[in-house]
């Protein structure tokens, strides 16, 4: 088993990994830059080391992190998600210096991170992919010819993209001509590569992803699926497990495809295979070679501790479960409570949290690194916390989600919580009928009232007075 782990991340995922280490008897090492000096992951880890003043440079320096792991006697590094989690160079440096990277091998990260290579690998494995370019586009002329042959709309995507960046929908040749240089520019700035590819745009599909685990002993299992169709501009807002929109036959088929995809590339550790579902047609979209933000809801319905399994796999141990051992029960929802103002085009709302009260009760889980008095820095992702609810039935989990969102108190910043309450009340969501176009198709959901209950007003006033007085 691993003895000492450096966590190459921050925020709630770092806290999540610290907790797994504590349960497994693994010593945890946190890192931080100056804006994170008082962050919760720094307080909770067994050791913590500063990376300097720059808010981002330290978190994004692979060599420095590997050197720190060696200096502090760590035998492994967990990258979390974001930052360097899907950076093949980082994984390769770990391999070269004898540090265990909690994730797949560097060559697998490289192959699946390059979306054209990933599509080629899936075709070879018999996993269906969306019609599109076989390899990177040579120039705009090739893009125009291919788009004309497969039909508009099409999606122009950065080959090394992720997180919703480097993606443009084009509904005509004129739009493709306009977007082509923009995507290349964005891809170059964000990912250091000008490579782009093109694929058929599947209009208003359901976004279904499958959690897989694979060990070094040749075992691959899936932990069923998550429905991530409630999203805005390719950014997920509410995630659901399992999908209320799948038949048992579809669930088995898509789970099998995910296992086939992972086995085909020699995958090890936790990963997610993402699909688009249109009618009964299923298309491979991409593979995320890391733990996902929304791993929580899979844990809630299956009882499998995914981070614990990650650490066991990294230590060379076999999976704790066979496929037939893994069952799911009930439904789970995850709400990404972001520091954003939905009524102002989701503008970030960074600042000091004057009062925070976490919701609780049966079937409620909160993964976060915030606390009353915490200053949310403007340099990182805007997510404050992940609110997760579980219940036996679809109707019950919606009701529990409403109650938990109403229970939560988070003052000092704007958040997306009230907006999510509107989504839960929509008849289509209640019937389990929605797709990736749900959010843009329902702008009326943003017309909710900001009026506060008197008790909330009193609490906010008291918190503001306390903050001003320096209590």
Q: Give the other-Cβ count within 10 Å of 124's Cβ.
A: 10
Nearest residue to 432 via CA among 217, 195, 238, 261:
238
Q: Which helix (H) or strand (E) holds 110?
A: helix 106-113
Cα three-residue angle 63-68-22, rounded to 5 degrees: 125
Q: Tell me if residue 415 falls in helix, strand or coil.
A: coil
Name the β-bridge partners of 347. Answer: 341
Nearest residue to 133 via CA among 111, 107, 108, 158:
158
Those residues whose C-beta lies under 8 Å from the C-beta of residue 5, and which sit 6 or more positions away, are 17, 21, 26, 27, 28, 29, 74, 75, 76, 77, 78, 102, 311
Nearest residue to 131 via CA among 139, 123, 141:
123
Catalytic residue among 44, 168, 290, 365: 290
Asked if residues 184 and 194 have their Cβ atoms less than 8 Å apart, the reply is yes
DSSP per-residue string spanning 362-399 = TTEEEEE---TT-EE-TTS--EEEEEEEEESSHHHHHH
> What backbone phi and psi angles, to 5 degrees, belong to 161?
-75, 175
Q: Any catalytic annotation for residue 336?
A: no
Catalytic positions, written as ranges: 290
């Amino acid at each position: 088993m691993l003895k000492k782990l450096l966590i190459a991340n921050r925020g709630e995922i770092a806290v999540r990994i610290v907790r797994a280490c504590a349960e497994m008897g693994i010593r945890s090492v946190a890192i931080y830059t100056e804006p994170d000096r008082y962050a919760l992951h720094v307080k909770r880890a067994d050791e913590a080391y500063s990376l300097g003043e720059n808010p981002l440079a330290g978190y994004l320096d692979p060599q420095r992190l590997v050197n720190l792991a060696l200096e502090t006697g760590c035998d492994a590094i967990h990258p979390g998600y974001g930052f360097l989690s899907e950076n093949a160079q980082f994984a390769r440096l770990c391999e070269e210096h004898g540090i265990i990277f909690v994730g797949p091998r560097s060559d697998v990260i490289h192959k699946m991170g390059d979306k054209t290579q990933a599509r080629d690998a899936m075709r070879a494995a018999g996993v269906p992919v969306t019609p599109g370019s076989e390899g990177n586009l040579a120039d705009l002329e090739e893009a125009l010819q291919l788009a004309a042959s497969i039909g508009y709309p099409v999606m122009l995507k950065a080959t090394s993209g992720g997180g919703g960046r480097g993606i443009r929908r084009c509904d005509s040749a004129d739009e493709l001509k306009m977007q082509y240089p923009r995507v290349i520019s964005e891809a170059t700035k964000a990912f250091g590569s000008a490579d782009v590819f093109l694929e058929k745009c599947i209009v208003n599909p359901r976004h279904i992803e499958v959690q897989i685990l694979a060990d070094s002993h040749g075992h691959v299992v899936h932990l069923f699926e998550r429905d991530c169709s409630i999203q805005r501009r390719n950014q997920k807002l509410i995630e659901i497990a399992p999908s209320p929109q799948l038949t048992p036959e579809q669930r088995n088929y898509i789970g099998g495809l995910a296992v086939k995809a992972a086995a085909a590339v020699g995958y090890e550790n936790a990963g997610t295979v993402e699909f688009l579902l249109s009618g009964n047609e299923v298309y491979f979209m991409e593979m995320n070679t890391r733990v996902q933000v929304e791993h929580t809801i899979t844990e809630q319905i299956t009882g499998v501790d995914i981070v614990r399994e990650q650490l066991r796999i990294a230590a060379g141990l076999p999976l704790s479960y066979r496929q037939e051992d893994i069952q799911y029960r009930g439904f789970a929802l995850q709400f990404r409570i972001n520091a954003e103002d939905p009524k102002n085009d989701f503008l970030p709302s960074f600042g000091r949290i004057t009062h925070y009260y976490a919701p609780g009760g049966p079937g409620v889980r909160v993964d976060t690194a915030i606390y009353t008095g915490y200053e949310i820095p403007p340099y990182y992702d805007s997510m404050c916390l992940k609110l997760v609810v579980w219940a036996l039935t679809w109707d019950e989990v919606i009701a529990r989600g409403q109650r938990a969102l109403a229970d939560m108190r988070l003052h000092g910043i704007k958040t997306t919580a009230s907006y999510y309450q509107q989504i839960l009340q929509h008849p289509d969501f209640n019937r389990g009928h929605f797709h990736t176009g749900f959010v843009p198709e329902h702008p009326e959901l943003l017309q909710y009232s900001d009026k506060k209950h008197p008790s909330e007003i009193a609490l906010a006033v008291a918190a503001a007075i306390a903050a001003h007085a320096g209590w």
